[in-house]
Structure 1
C-alpha cells in the first residue's frame, strides 16, 4: 500500500470515529429534550371543518363552513350557430358563446326559508342576426365599433337574477310574475308571448294550500315600455322636425278654434311602477295561471308653436279641445296560461297553451318578441316592411294618447322520443292595431314620414304606407335535441316567421323607397299615377336555423 492509500485509510477511520461520537451525542440530547418536553402542556391543533352536504334543498347544496347556510354553485356553458334567410345586413350566419354562473344560498329560519339567488350571464355574439338590438336598448350589451365588426360583434353582460325571498316576499331582479310559458321549450325563444326574464320588482306571494297561490307585484316600468309614436312634424325646426321624441298637438283659442300646433315631448318618465297580479294553481297534472298588469304611459310638456297651413286647417274640425300636454294614460293586459303534463304519452312530455290581450301594453302580450322590443318598429330583416309596436299615439287633434291594442296566442309541445332524444313543436299568432282616426290626424301633420292626405296622391300614398298599419304575425318552429349524458344538450331548431298587414297592401321596400310616399302630399311630390304604380306587398317571410351545444352544471 503506497503512502497515498495509507493516508486515505487513516483519514476514513478517524472520520468514522468522529461520526459515531456526534451521533451518540445527538441521541443523548434528544432523550433529554424529550423528557423535558413531556413536562410541558400540549396545545392541540384547531379541528379541521370539512364541507358537509346539505340535503334539505335537493342535490348539489353544501353548508358554507362555519354557518348554517346551504349553498349551491351552478352554471352553464353554451355555443350557438345560426343560419338565416333572407340576408341580414348581408350576413347569413352568426355565432354566440355564453357563460352563466348561479349562486343559490338558503337558510332555514323560524319564518321559513331565507333565500338569496344571483345569476350572472356573459356572452359574445357575432354575425348580423345574433347581434341583439333589444339587449343594447336595455343596456345589457355593448357593440363593436370597427369597420367590419360594427353591427356584427357584441358583448353581453347581465345581472340576470339577484333577488331575496323570505316569508312570501320576493325583492330584487327576477322574472316578471306576469309571465307563464316564457319560451320554456324553445332554443331560439321567439314565439309571440311575454318573456321578461329580468326586471326589478317587489312582490308578495300568499299560498292557500292545495297548490293555490296569489301574487301582487310592483315591477319596474322601464323594462315594459314601447315608445310612444312621435317623430316631429312638418313645420317644426331643428331637432324637433326629425326627432322621434316629439309629436304635434293642436293649440286652440278661447273659442276652441285651432290656431297653431305645438310639439309634445313623448319620452316617457319613470313615475309609477307597473302593478302585476297573478293567481296560480300547481298540481301533479300541471299548472294554470291568470295574470293581469297595469302600465302607465306618459308624455312631457309641450313647446315650440308653429302656425297651421291652409291645407291642414281645411281638414281640421271646426272646434277642438286638446290639453296643454297629453294626459297620462293607463295601459293594461290580461293573460291566461295552462300547462299539462303528459306522462301517459312519454315521461317528460308537456303541453303549454297561453293567450294574452292588452291595450297600450304591447310587451305584456309579447307581440314584438320575434322582431325586437323596446323600439318603435321592428323587422325580421332589412328590406322587409316595418311592423309598428307603439303603445300609444299622440292624436294631434284631441291632444290625448290613443292606445294601441294587441293580442297573442301560443301553443308549445315537448315530446321525448327516448330518454336521450326530445323535440319541441310550437306555433304562435298575434295581431296589433291602431286607432284609425289618430293615424289620419298624425298623417295630417306628416308625423314620422306619414304621407299627408291633403292631395289625391297623398291619400293614395297613405293607403300603402306601413306606418301605424294594423298587422299580424305567425311564428312557428320545431327542434330536435340529443342529450347523450346528463346535463348535456346538442340540438338544432328551425323557425318560420310571417309578418303581414291585416288589410290592404304596403310598399315593397325591396323595390321602392318610402321617401316617395312621405313626399306624396307635398307640392312637387310624386303624381297620383306614380304612387299607384308603386310596388306593394301583403306579407313577407323569414326562415332561420339555429344549433346549440349546451352543458349545465
Structure 2
C-alpha cells in the first residue's frame, strides 16, 4: 500500500510538470499598454497627440460678453405710406417717404454673449503640414446688438440666438480651401464698436494659394465667394429714368457667374508688416419692370459691371516706447466693390450707421441700375468709395493697454444716381468718420476687461424735393416730412469682458 501511494504521488507530480511545460509554450495574453495623451510641441503650445494617430490637435475657445449704450437719434427712414409708425400721415403722390423715426421706439442698450469653440488639427506629410481648422460661434443678442433700431419696427426686447461658422478650412502645400479671413483685409479688430474699414468677421469661402519667399515676403492669389459680398449681391434701382419714364426694379439677388479674384503681396519682419492688395469682382443685376415682365416672365436683361478695389496697409513696431507698442494704418479705394473698403452694408440697417449715428447713409449697393429709354434699355452706374483708417496701441504696463483708433470713409455714387430724388432710389455723396479709444486690463493671460468710448459723425446731402432730376411731384421743402441734408453725430460707451482659452 505504501508503494502504491508513492507511485500515485510521483505520477501526479509528473503530470503537473508536463502541464507546466506545455503552458509555458502557449502564447501569453498581456494587457495592452495604456497610451496617455502626450504633448505635441511641434506646432506650439496647447497641442496634443490624438491617441493612436499621427495628428496633433489643439482645442480652445472664447467667451465674450459685451454691453453698450448709444443715445437714441432720430433718423430719416424710407417706408411705404400707412406702414408701421407712419403716424397716419399720407405720403405725397408718387413717393414712399416716411417721417423721422421717433426716438421713443429706439433701443439705447445692446447686450450680447458669445461662446466660440476652436479646433486646429495638424499632421506632418511629405508635402508639409496638413492643417484643418474649424471655429464655431453661438451668440445671443438683445437690443442694439440684435437689430437696427431704425428698422420698420423698434428693436424687439427678446433675445435671439444666432449660430455662425467663423472658420472652416484646410491648409495644405500653400493652398487654403474653405472659409477663412479675406486675403484683402489687413487691420485686426482691435476696436469694440464698428469702424469704417473692411471686415469679414465670419470669414469668406475661398480657394487661395500662398507662395512664401525668403525674408518674410509672401504672395497670395485667391478666388473668393462673391455671393457673400452683401453690397454686390443685388443692385440699387431708380424709380425714374432721367427723362421721367417708368423706372427699373432689381431682382432680390443677382446671379453669381464668377468668383471674386483677390491677391496680395506681403512682408512680415522684425520692424513690422506691409501689404498691398487688390480685388476684382463681377456685379450682376436682372431688370424686372412691368413692360419686360410680360415678355420675360419676370426677369429682364442681365446687366454685368466689373468692380475693383485696391488697398495698402502698414504696421510699424515701436518697442522704444514700450514692449508691444505699434502703429498701423490702412487706405483703400473701390469702384463697384464696396465690401472690400467699407464694413458690410453701410446703410440704415447696419451696426455702423443706424445703431451708431441714426443717419441715412445709403451705401449698401455696389451698382445702381436704371432705364435709359421707355423700353427700359439698361443703364448702370457703380458706387465709388475711399477709406482711411489707423490704430495706435500702447502698453501702459504689461497688463494694461490702450488702442487709439480712427477711420474715415467717402462714398460717391454715379452722376445719374446722385441726380435722382432719394425717395426714388437716388443716392448722394456722403462722408463719415469716427474716433474711439479703449482701455484693456489683462489680470491674467488671455483674460481681458475693457471699456471703450467712441464718437462718429455723418454728413450727407440728399437730392430731390423740388431740386432733383427727377423729383417727387408733391414733395417740397415746405413739407415737414421732407429732408435734404443730414449732419448728425453720436457717441457710444461700451464694455467687454473676454476670456480666451
TM range (shorter): 0.7 to 0.9
2: CA distance, partners of 1:383 / 1:58: 46
3-state SS of paired residue (2:273): strand
CA offsets per residue over residues 35-86 of structure 1, 9 Å max, x none?
9889745421111111111111101111000111111111111211111112
2: CA distance, partners of 1:336 / 1:382: 28
Structure 1 residue runs of 5 or longer lacking an equivalent are 1-32, 138-146, 235-247, 251-257, 307-323, 452-466, 508-513
Match of 1:97 in 2: 113
1:402 equivalent in alignment to 2:381: yes
Is the 2:239–2:248 contact (alpha carbons within 8 Å) kept by the matching residues of 1?
no
Is the 2:438–2:451 contact (alpha carbons within 8 Å) kept by the matching residues of 1?
yes
Match of 1:193 in 2: 197
2: CA distance, partners of 1:177 / 1:542: 32
3-state SS of paired residue (1:86): coil
Match of 2:98 in 1: none
**CA apart distance, 1:390:** 2.0
Deviates more, 1:364-373 or 1:387-396: 364-373
2: CA distance, partners of 1:295 / 1:228: 13
Match of 1:387 in 2: 362
Structure-2 change in CA distance of 1:266 and 1:299 (3 Å): farther
Is the 1:370–1:380 contact (alpha carbons within 8 Å) kept by the matching residues of 2?
no
1:541 to 484, 489, 494: 489
Structure-2 change in CA distance of 1:529 and 1:45 (3 Å): closer
**CA apart distance, 1:519:** 11
2: CA distance, partners of 1:402 / 1:505: 18
**CA apart distance, 1:370:** 7.0
Match of 2:315 in 1: 339
Q: What is the correspondence of 1:176-191 to structure 2 with a 5 Å cutoff?
A: 176-183=182-189, 185-188=190-193, 190-191=194-195
Is the 1:367–1:432 contact (alpha carbons within 8 Å) kept by the matching residues of 2?
no
* TM-align CA RMSD: 3.6
Is the 2:69–2:109 contact (alpha carbons within 8 Å) kept by the matching residues of 1?
yes
1: CA distance, partners of 2:289 / 2:205: 34
**CA apart distance, 1:384:** 3.0
TM-score (norm 1): 0.71
1: CA distance, partners of 2:32 / 2:247: 82
Match of 1:215 in 2: 220
CA offsets per residue over residues 294-313 of structure 1, 9 Å max, x none?
1111112555229xxxxxxx
Structure 2 residue runs of 5 or longer lacking an equivalent are 1-15, 74-102, 293-299
1: CA distance, partners of 2:51 / 2:343: 48
Q: Which has the higher contact order (CA 8 A, sep 6+)?
A: 2
Q: What is the correspondence of 1:93-492 to structure 2 with a 5 Å cutoff?
A: 93-127=109-143, 129-132=144-147, 150=156, 152-183=158-189, 185-188=190-193, 190-197=194-201, 198-226=203-231, 228-230=234-236, 233=239, 265=251, 267-305=253-291, 325=301, 327-366=303-342, 379-380=354-355, 384-397=359-372, 399-440=378-419, 442-443=420-421, 449-450=423-424, 467-492=426-451
Match of 2:97 in 1: none
1: CA distance, partners of 2:109 / 2:161: 17
2: CA distance, partners of 1:249 / 1:539: 28
Is the 1:174–1:201 contact (alpha carbons within 8 Å) kept by the matching residues of 2?
yes
Is the 2:448–2:499 contact (alpha carbons within 8 Å) kept by the matching residues of 1?
yes
CA offsets per residue over residues 93-143 of structure 1, 9 Å max, x none?
12111111111111111111110011111111111x111569xx9xxxxxx
2: CA distance, partners of 1:438 / 1:480: 43
Structure-2 change in CA distance of 1:520 and 1:469 (3 Å): closer
Match of 1:70 in 2: 56
1: CA distance, partners of 2:349 / 2:131: 31
3-state SS of paired residue (2:275): strand
1: CA distance, partners of 2:46 / 2:65: 25
Match of 1:16 in 2: none
